[in-house]
């Protein structure tokens, strides 16, 4: 697609991409420059690298592998509560790690529901700690995201294609070969790369459910370099390694996922004639029920644990909730201002740099970004005064990779379908953006904004380094409550966070698809 | 009132406002939370100092030190409160801290003689368990039992580092053996105290590494006597929490006043039921009811700050070796 005249300029997007890359690489550089002679790379770092790669690969393969049948089932079925279910599926993704772990343990732990059920039959409790526990938790976090990304792929196949295929009497196999297979080849590598990158930088989950120091990830090694050794050089080195790994995964994924879309349709509701058999219905039902149980039971545990504490929440928790909402809204606005031009630039043929710098946000360690920003900002301004904008900016960059995966395929289609027509009508620049690009991107923009707002609300990340005494976000407040033994109040605050994030996600996602096919 | 003062400042009548000096104290997060000592300490100190006390939370003890190192000589902080003796050697090495002139009648189980840092509270690490279950009486018995424990990673949390030094202080060169024995008791290792304690309360483990004072919280604040700390015969490692004045403070007198206030009755009587630790100086009214029910270890273990700094890396290596098998 590169080289063809496009109705939108790629430069705003490229500028945004450069800004993001400068932020991530600049902070890393700032940390490296402040470093004194460090210890360099040790044997334990290689072990951490191996473990990180193993668990991230397994987690990505399983998350995306399971997401394919689940997304297919969701794409083919219409049932009451479907959109609510899809929104709820997003929930695990945005929870503070500690809350999600406690939710998972309530179901799969040694004293959890599953173990209690097994003991009724005289069976041993499930053993959740180990590599399989790490992968289980990562699938819990990422299956919903992978499902949404792939579901979107399904919904981007124009309804006319399915109609045509059905008229030509294509069976399920032919349907798969002609429509679904090619779609997956485009969408799945991106989803794999995103999940892989998310799991690369995980550490609290990996450590806790991994069962001990065997489950050391690069991110924990970065943490150790900071906290245990205060070895900034090693932290920067490890962080650089993490960036290279993610960048490599992203490049592979982008190369594999290149390919043309399905062309234009009339945005009619998708109808699937091949899914009408009893067998197909049954299979789809099983997938939907199983995935819903897997994702919703731990959420139910969080809700049950939080209800008693919810009523007694003190003013400071509500204030923290207000701060979180503020950060999340600001962060979402920043995200859209970065991501929409970047998606347009990627679609206009400048995909390399924009998509790559978009995905870097996943690989950057919040600890390194936070420290780097601190080093950069400290000489010129008061870090406390900047807590709000800095947190919002970093959260936006962290959400950027997800937004790009959501926006870019659609932006390609919009430019592909309407680019030449618009050019022939001499509709370019802002007119094209306003009349064609933004309206056509509405559903995806809503989804991306919903994810960004939810992610930002649940993020602990950099705020810890910049936190003003009077400026706590809700996740930080949850940790403070737990630190003061207020477990019940913490559970209540966690439930509040869950409701706020879900509510915000639902409103934005729903808003984007208003009057569109649900 | 704050708003009024702010408005007055904006209107140009800032003379009175600017005369109120500000003392900035960096501390850990749970200290400044509504449920921690922060709000009460701020109120009590501002009543006597004629100043504005600004308490700033910055993660935990280790993060606090990292923060001060990052900011270096230009730090806005006047006082850093919340380091422990495992961190003080590194803190002194930065050359950022000044000596103090505070003396007090400390109620610490060990002699205290430190020119730079003033202790404000202390506690013993201990394994907390459900009171109705029998508990092992030392590390060897724990290793031999089938009790499941949750501990914290020394690389990311201060209690985790405390346990590492506890085993080292009690067993010295035998420490690797002890860790090998314990490895099948360790259900898992967490990033920080909150994760571990939450998992213990969820029933994931029989015991969790915490403090001997943890049961006091449940007893006093929740009227729940179901938690107890296991008394270990080899002694309990102590955590002494300290504060120090930064050499480059622009409020040296106020900082000295704060350190002296810190060991006074007004501050010390706030500590037990907000920070859930033992006060460094016993308040005139004594310890709150409920603290009397806590176990009192016969032997207090504490490596000196230089010893702690020396054995730290080797002890981490042994710990990693034993638990990575």
Q: Give the closest-approach CA distance of A147 to chain B in angstroms.
A: 29
Do A483 and B191 lie within an 8 Å CB cutoff? no
Of A204, A464, A468, the CB nearest to B191: A204
| CB < 8 Å to B54, chain A | 469
A228 inside 8 A of chain B by CB: yes
User: Is the confidence at residue B4, as pLDDT, over 90?
Assistant: no
Rounded to a whole number of angstroms, the distance from the CA of A468 to the nearest CA of chain B is: 6
Contacts of B39 in chain A (CB under 8 A): none
Residue B195, φ and ψ in degrees, nearest 5:
-60, -45
Contact predicate A363/A243, CB 8 Å: yes
Task: Please give the Cα distance from A417 to A407 (Å, whole number).
Answer: 15
Question: Best of A108, A212, A229, A468 to disrupt the B interface by mutation (most B CBs within 10 Å)?
Answer: A212
Alpha-carbon gap, residue A68 to A317, rounded angstroms: 39
Say if residue A173's pLDDT is above 90. Answer: no
Query: Is the pLDDT score of A105 beyond 60?
Result: yes
pLDDT at A465: 66
Asked if pLDDT for residue A266 goes beyond 60, the answer is no
pLDDT digits (tens, 9 = 90+) for A445-495: 998 898 888 888 877 666 666 666 667 888 888 888 888 888 889 999 999
Q: Which residues of A68-107 are buried (b: 16+ CB within 10 A; e: fewer)?
A: bbbbbbbbbbeeeeeeebbbbbbbbbbbbbbbbbbbbbbb
Can you read off the two tokens belonging to residue B258? 């704060």
**d(C-alpha B124, C-alpha B137), whole Å:** 15
Tell me the chain B residues in contact with residue A109 when contact means C-beta distances shorter than 8 Å.
Answer: 199, 202-204
CB–CB of B202 and A465 under 8 A? no
Does the structure show a pLDDT above 60 at B9? Answer: no
> Cβ(A90)–Cβ(A451) under 8 Å?
yes
Angular region, B38: left φ>0, alpha ψ -120 to 50, beta rest: alpha
Q: How confident is the model at residue B269, as a pLDDT?
A: 95
Annotate B120-138 with DSSP letters as a single string.
EEEEEEEEEEETTS---SS
**DSSP string covering B96-115:** -EE----------SS----S
What tokens does A88 get?
Answer: 């709820």
Model pLDDT, residue A514: 60
Report the distance separating Cα A322 and Cα A326, nearest Å.
6
B36 to chain A, closest Cα gap in Å:
7
Binned at pLDDT 50, 70 and 90, residue A149 comes out as confident
Contacts of B218 in chain A (CB under 8 A): 485
pLDDT, residue B10, reads 44
Q: B24: helix, coil or strand?
A: strand
Share of chain A above pLDDT 70, in %: 91
Most confident of A163-167, A282-286, A364-368, B140-144: B140-144
pLDDT (tens digit per residue) in B118-165: 999 999 999 999 999 999 999 999 999 999 999 999 998 999 999 999
The whole-number average pLDDT for the span B54-72 is 86
pLDDT tens digits along B69-103: 888 888 889 999 999 999 999 999 999 999 999 99
Find, in chain B, the residue whose alpha carbon is nearest to that of A228: B155
Res. B5 pLDDT band, cuts 50 70 90: very low
Per-chain mean pLDDT for chain A: 83
Say whether residue B49 is in contact with chain A using an 8 A CB cutoff: no
Mean pLDDT of the region A196-212: 87
Cβ-defined contact of B199 to A208 (cutoff 8 Å): yes
The per-residue pLDDT for A197 is 84
Q: Which residue has the higher pLDDT, B243 or B4?
A: B243
A26 CA: distance to closest CA in chain B (Å) = 17
pLDDT band at A179 (very low <50, low <70, confident <90, very high): confident
Instruction: Give CA–CA dist A115/A131, Å, rounded.
Output: 19
- Confirm or reject contact between A62 and chain B (CB < 8 A): no
pLDDT mean across residues, chain B: 90
Of A227, A464, A487, the CB nearest to B156: A227
> Looking at A504-513, B4-13, B70-79, B174-183, which range is the least confident one?
B4-13
Arithmetic mean of pLDDT, A43-56: 88
In chain B, residues with a C-beta closer than 8 Å to the C-beta of A477 are 33
A:207-226 residues touching chain B, CB 8 A cutoff: 207-214, 220, 223-224, 226
Average pLDDT estimate for A53-71: 94
Among A95-99, A187-191, A255-259, which is the least confidently predicted range? A255-259
pLDDT digits over A371-428, tens only?
Answer: 888 888 888 887 777 878 888 888 898 889 888 888 888 888 888 888 888 888 887 7
> Across the interface, which of A207, A211, A484 has its CB nearest the CB of B36?
A484
- Sequence-distant (6+) residues with CB within 8 A of A116 are none
Amino acid B15: pLDDT: 42
Length of chain B: 325
**What is the reported pLDDT for A443?**
85
Residue B72 contacts A where some CB pair is shorter than 8 Å:
no
A469 contacts B32? CB cut-off 8 A: yes
Flag if A228 and B316 touch (Cβ within 8 Å): yes
- Is the Cβ pair A382, B217 closer than 8 Å? no
Residue A178 has pLDDT above 90, yes or no: no
pLDDT band, very low/low/confident/very high, at B277 (cuts 50, 70, 90): very high
Taking contacts as CB-CB distances below 8 angstroms, the residues of chain A near B199 are 101-102, 105, 109, 208
Please give the residue that has the higher pLDDT: either A182 or B251: B251
- Tell which residue, A227, A225, A243, has the closest CA to residue A38: A225
Does B218 touch chain A if contact means CB atoms closer than 8 Å?
yes
Please state, in angstroms and as integers, the Cα–Cα distance from residue B263 to each residue in A323, B269, B281, following that order: 35, 10, 6
Q: What is the mean pLDDT of residues B249-257?
A: 94
Collect all residues with Cβ–Cβ distance below 8 Å to B35 and sequence separation of at least 6: A480, A481, A484, A486, B274
Work out the average pLDDT over A255-268: 58
Chain B partners within 8 Å of A111 (Cβ): 202-204
Among A264-273, A302-311, B3-12, B192-201, the minimum mean pLDDT is found in: B3-12
Q: Is B301 on the interface with A (CB under 8 A)?
A: no
Contact of B180 with chain A, judged by CB distance below 8 Å, is answered with no
| DSSP type of residue A275 | G
* CA distance, residue B309 to nearest chain A CA (Å): 11
Per-residue confidence (pLDDT) for residue A316, from 0 to 100: 86
Q: Which residues on B lie below 8 Å from A469 (Cβ)? A: 32, 38, 54-57
Beta bridge partners of B117: B244
Q: Is B50 exposed, middle or buried (0-12, 13-18, 19+ CB in 10 A)?
A: exposed
Q: Is A204's CB within 8 Å of B190's CB?
A: yes
Q: What is the 3-state secondary structure (H, E, C) of A31-60?
A: HHHHCCCCCCCCHHHHHHHHHHHHHHHHHH
Among partner residues A223, A378, A481, which is closest to B155 by beta-carbon distance? A223
DSSP 8-state class, residue A2: T
Whole-angstrom distance, CA of residue A408 vs CA of residue A401: 10
At B273 the pLDDT is 92
**Cβ contact A378–B70 (<8 Å):** yes
Mean pLDDT of B51-78: 88
Please say if the pLDDT value at position A163 is more than 80: no
Q: What is the pLDDT of residue B46?
A: 95
* CB-based contact B302:B85 (threshold 8 Å): yes
Task: Indicate which of B6, B90, B133, B187 best probes the interface with A, i.e. most A CBs within 10 Å of its own CB.
Answer: B187
Residue that has been written with the tokens 């005139």 in this structure = B284
Three-state DSSP class for residue B26: strand
**Which of A238, A216, A246, A264 minimizes the C-alpha distance to A414?**
A264
Question: What pLDDT does residue B89 have?
Answer: 92
How many cross-chain Cβ pairs, A to B, lie less than 8 Å apart? 154
Question: How far, rounded to the nearest angstrom, does the alpha carbon of residue A309 sit from its chain's CA centroid?
Answer: 29
Quote the CA–CA distance of B315 and B79 in Å, as a whole number.
Answer: 31
pLDDT band for A272, please (50, 70, 90 cuts).
low
- CB-CB under 8 Å, B62 with A227: yes
**Distance (Å, rounded) from C-alpha A300 to C-alpha A350?**
44
CB of B285 within 8 Å of a chain A CB? The answer is no
A407 and A190 Cβ atoms separated by less than 8 Å:
no
Nearest CA in chain B to A108: B204
Q: Give percent above pLDDT 90 in chain B.
A: 78
């Amino acid at each position: 697609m590169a080289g063809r005249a496009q109705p939108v300029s790629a430069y705003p997007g490229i500028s945004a991409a450069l800004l993001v890359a400068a932020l991530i690489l600049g902070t890393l550089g700032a940390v490296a420059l402040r470093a004194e002679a460090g210890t360099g790379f040790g044997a334990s770092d290689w072990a951490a690298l191996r473990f990180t790669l193993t668990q991230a690969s397994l987690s990505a393969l399983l998350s995306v592998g399971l997401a394919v049948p689940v997304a297919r089932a969701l794409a083919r079925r219409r049932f009451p509560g479907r959109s609510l279910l899809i929104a709820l599926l997003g929930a695990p993704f945005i929870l503070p790690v500690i809350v999600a772990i406690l939710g998972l343990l309530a179901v799969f732990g040694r004293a959890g529901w599953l173990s209690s059920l097994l003991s009724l039959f005289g069976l041993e409790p499930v053993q959740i700690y180990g590599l399989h526990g790490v992968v289980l938790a990562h699938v819990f976090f990422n299956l919903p995201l992978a499902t949404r990304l792939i579901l979107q792929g399904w919904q981007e196949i124009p309804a006319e294609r399915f109609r045509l295929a059905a008229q030509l009497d294509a069976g399920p196999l032919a349907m798969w070969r002609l429509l679904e297979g090619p779609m997956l080849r485009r969408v799945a590598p991106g989803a794999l790369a995103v999940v892989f990158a998310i799991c690369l930088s995980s550490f609290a989950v990996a450590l806790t459910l991994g069962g001990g120091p065997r489950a050391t990830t690069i991110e924990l090694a970065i943490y150790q370099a900071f906290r245990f050794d205060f070895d900034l050089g090693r932290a920067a080195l490890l962080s650089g390694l993490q960036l290279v790994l993610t960048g490599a995964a992203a490049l592979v994924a982008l190369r594999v996922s290149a390919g043309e879309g399905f062309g234009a349709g009339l945005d009619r509701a998708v109808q699937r004639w091949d899914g009408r058999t009893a067998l197909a219905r049954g299979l789809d039902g099983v997938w939907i029920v199983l995935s819903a149980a897997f994702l919703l039971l731990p959420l139910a545990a969080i809700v049950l644990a939080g209800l008693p504490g919810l009523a007694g929440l003190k003013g400071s928790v509500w204030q923290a909730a207000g701060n979180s909402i503020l950060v999340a809204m600001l962060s979402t606005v920043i995200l859209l201002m970065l991501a929409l031009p970047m998606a347009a630039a990627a679609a206009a043929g400048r995909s390399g740099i924009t998509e790559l710098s978009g995905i870097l946000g996943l690989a950057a360690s919040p600890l390194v970004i936070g420290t780097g920003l601190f080093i950069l900002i400290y000489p010129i301004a008061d870090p406390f005064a900047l807590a709000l904008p800095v947190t919002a900016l970093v959260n936006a960059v962290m959400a950027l990779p997800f937004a790009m995966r959501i926006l870019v395929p659609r932006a390609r289609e919009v430019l592909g379908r309407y680019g030449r027509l618009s050019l022939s009508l001499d509709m370019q620049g802002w007119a094209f953006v306003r009349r064609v690009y933004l309206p056509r991107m509405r559903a995806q923009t809503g989804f991306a904004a919903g994810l960004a707002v939810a992610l930002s609300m649940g993020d602990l990340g950099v705020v810890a380094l910049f936190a003003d005494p009077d400026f706590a976000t809700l996740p930080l407040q949850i940790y403070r409550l737990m630190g003061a033994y207020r477990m019940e109040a913490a559970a209540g605050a966690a439930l509040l966070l869950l409701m706020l994030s879900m509510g915000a996600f639902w409103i934005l996602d729903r808003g984007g698809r208003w009057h569109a096919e649900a | 009132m704050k708003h009024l003062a702010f408005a007055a400042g904006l209107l140009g009548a800032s003379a009175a406002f600017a005369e109120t000096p500000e003392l900035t104290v960096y501390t850990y997060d749970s200290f400044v939370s509504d449920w921690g000592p922060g709000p009460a300490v701020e109120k009590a100190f501002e009543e006597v100092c004629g100043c504005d006390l600004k308490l700033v939370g910055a993660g935990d003890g280790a993060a606090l030190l990292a923060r001060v190192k990052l900011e270096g000589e230009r730090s806005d902080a006047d006082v850093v409160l919340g380091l422990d003796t495992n961190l003080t050697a590194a803190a002194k090495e930065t050359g950022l801290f000044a000596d103090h002139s505070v003396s007090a009648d400390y109620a610490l189980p060990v002699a205290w003689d430190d020119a730079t840092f003033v202790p404000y509270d202390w506690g013993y690490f201990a394994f907390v368990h459900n009171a109705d279950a029998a508990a092992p009486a030392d590390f060897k018995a724990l290793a031999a039992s089938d009790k499941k424990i949750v501990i914290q990673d020394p690389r990311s949390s201060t209690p985790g580092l405390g346990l590492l030094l506890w085993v080292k202080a009690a067993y010295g060169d035998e420490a690797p053996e002890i860790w090998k024995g314990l490895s099948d008791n360790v259900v898992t290792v967490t990033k920080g105290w909150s994760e571990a304690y939450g998992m213990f309360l969820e029933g994931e483990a029989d015991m969790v590494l915490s403090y001997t004072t943890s049961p006091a919280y449940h007893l006093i604040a929740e009227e729940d006597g179901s938690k107890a700390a296991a008394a270990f015969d080899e002694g309990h490692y102590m955590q002494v929490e300290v504060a120090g004045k930064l050499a480059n403070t622009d409020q040296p007198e106020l900082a000295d006043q704060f350190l002296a206030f810190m060991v006074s009755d007004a501050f010390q009587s706030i500590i037990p039921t907000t920070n859930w630790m033992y006060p460094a100086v016993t308040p005139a009214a004594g310890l709150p009811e409920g603290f009397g029910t806590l176990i009192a270890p016969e032997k207090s273990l504490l490596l000196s700050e230089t010893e702690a700094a020396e054995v730290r890396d080797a002890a981490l290596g042994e710990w990693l070796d034993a638990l990575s098998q």
